[in-house]
Amino acid sequence: MTDQPDLTEALYRATQGLQRAARTLTAQGAMGWAMQRDAERLGATLQQMDDEQLTVVAEAARRLAAAADGLLAARTAAAAPADVAEDVAPNSVVRVLLLVGEWAELRTALHPAAAPLRVPAARIAEQAGLPANELPGREFSVRILTERDADGFTLLNDPRL
């Protein structure tokens, strides 16, 4: 009968492993539905998660978005021509609509208010020389504007001057 505790422990460990695998597969399924832009299935998958798993998935999604946006910005900057004009052209004026966590949502010539461009608020604040909480409602010229990023922010019509 000494084998009984070992079997019980083995079954317990196997059950724990299967539960972790199920949680991981559920999270991967949510990512798949999000990538396919299937809001209905994404919502149904998220409903299956408990609060702890939703928190973990949300944190992971923020880290993933930040890492992907950073890499895209770096690639965009590296691919930009060296002689980008510094002049403010009509398509290089952007308006910060609002802040969402660490992100600023921008209306640009390429991004209407209904589908704004998301850019790290800290980058805009640093380049423009003002606090991030003062970004919403302000207009900026940008040196680089693409479908995926904007960079080289300069505050227009600075009321502090």
Residue 124 scores a pLDDT above 90: yes
Whether 8 is in a domain gets the answer yes
Residue 3 scores a pLDDT above 90: no
Where does a domain end: 60, 79, 98? 79
Structural domain including 98 reads: 90-155
Residue-wise pLDDT for 40-93, tens only, equals 998 999 999 999 998 888 888 877 777 777 777 677 666 655 544 444 445 589
User: Are 34 and 99 within one domain?
Assistant: no
141 conformational bin, left if phi > 0, alpha if psi -120 to 50, beta if neither: beta
User: Are 21 and 54 within one domain?
Assistant: yes
Structural domain total, the chain? 2
Supply the DSSP string of 131-153, one letter for each residue: -GGG-TT-EEEEEEE-SS-EEEE
Q: Say what the pTM is.
A: 0.46
Whether 161 is in a domain gets the answer no
Residue 96: per-residue pLDDT: 95
Whether 85 is in a domain gets the answer no
Which of the pair, 125 or 83, is modelled with greater confidence?
125
Which residues contact residue 125 at a Cβ distance below 8 angstroms, ignoring those fewer than 6 apart? 131, 132, 134, 135
86/43 Cα distance (integer angstroms):
44
Residue 89: per-residue pLDDT: 46
**Count, residues in the chain:** 161
Whether 147 is in a domain gets the answer yes
User: Are 74 and 111 within one domain?
Assistant: no
Average the pLDDT over 95-105 and give the result. 94
H helix or E strand, kind and range, residue 72 = helix 51-79
| pLDDT cut 90: percent of the chain above it | 39
Residue 108 scores a pLDDT above 70: yes
